[in-house]
Chains A and B, each alone.
Chain A
Amino acid sequence: EVQLEQSGAGVRKPGESLKISCQFSGDSLTKFWIAWVRQMPGKGLEYMGVIYPDDSDTRYGPSFQGQVTISADKSIRVAYLQWSSLKASDTAIYYCAKSSKVGINWGFDSWGQGTLVTVSS
């Protein structure tokens, strides 16, 4: 069974950096796309971007290009989401999710448990 295990909650001050992770297990998981999705408090789901761990091909959602960096290390089966300078508005739960098939336009069939990021002075 596919499992996506995310890193624990993070608390940072505005301007600080942060890198959260998504460990994926299961056969051939480097051959699927891993997405990051934001959910701000009390709000809906927002697509941030995807990465293909096998070759690190990365695409960003229009609202997140230049705001975050998505990366992966296929040797240890981990995808990352990082910020270089956090803002209070980055406070949210961040989910990773796996594509259901090999192809960027196949939706997500497995989700991580979410990582709460709190940015407060």
Chain B
Amino acid sequence: QAVLTQPASLSASPGASGSLTCTLRSDINVDAHRIYWYQQKPGSPPHYLLRYRSDSDKELGSGVPSRFSGSKNSSANVGILVISALQSEDEGDYYCMIWHSSAWVFGGGTKLTVL
């Protein structure tokens, strides 16, 4: 089982909110990890969005709109990226990342379509 699992795709309407999930393998406690989120658009490098561990330990990347936020569902062992008021420019691939067993691990990525 993969360390981090993300749904391959997500579609949402402009103006709506979208929740992108990052499920940690059952033996890895989501509450013990900082989860990083990156956005990547075609032909561009990944762009740092935010880091979330808890409401008291979080950071929004420089220049990232406040429409982007992080959260967790501890009971489901899931990290969540919430994008409110979706815009067409939010389309792209989104990756989560954690530090696990002395190495960085990426999720497989979610392709977000706004239509």
Contact = CB atoms under 8 A, between A and B. Distances in A.
B12 to A, nearest CB: 21
A62 B46 contact: no
A109 B109 contact: no
B99 A114 contact: no
Given A110-B48, A111-B45, A44 B95 contact: yes
Tell me the interface secondary structure of chain B in the complex: strand
Report the contact-size class of chain A (Cβ under 8 Å from the partner): 20 to 34
Interface string A103-121: 0111111111110000000
Contact of A100 (B38, B46, B51, B93): B51
Given A44-B95, A44-B109, A45-B95, A109 B61 contact: yes
Interface stretch (B13-21, B66-74, B82-90, B100-108): B100-108
Given A107-B34, A109-B62, A114 B104 contact: no
Contact of A44 (B47, B48, B99, B108): B108
Nearest to A97: B46
Interface of A is mostly: strand
B109 A61 contact: no
A46 interface: yes
Interface residues of B, number: 24
Contacts of A100: 48, 51, 59
28 contacts: A35-B104, A37-B106, A44-B95, A44-B106, A44-B108, A45-B40, A45-B46, A45-B97, A47-B104, A47-B106, A50-B104, A61-B104, A95-B46, A97-B46, A100-B48, A100-B51, A104-B99, A105-B99, A106-B34, A107-B48, A107-B97, A107-B99, A108-B36, A109-B61, A110-B48, A111-B47, A112-B45, A114-B45
Interface of A: 35, 37, 44-47, 50, 59, 61-62, 95, 97, 100, 104-114
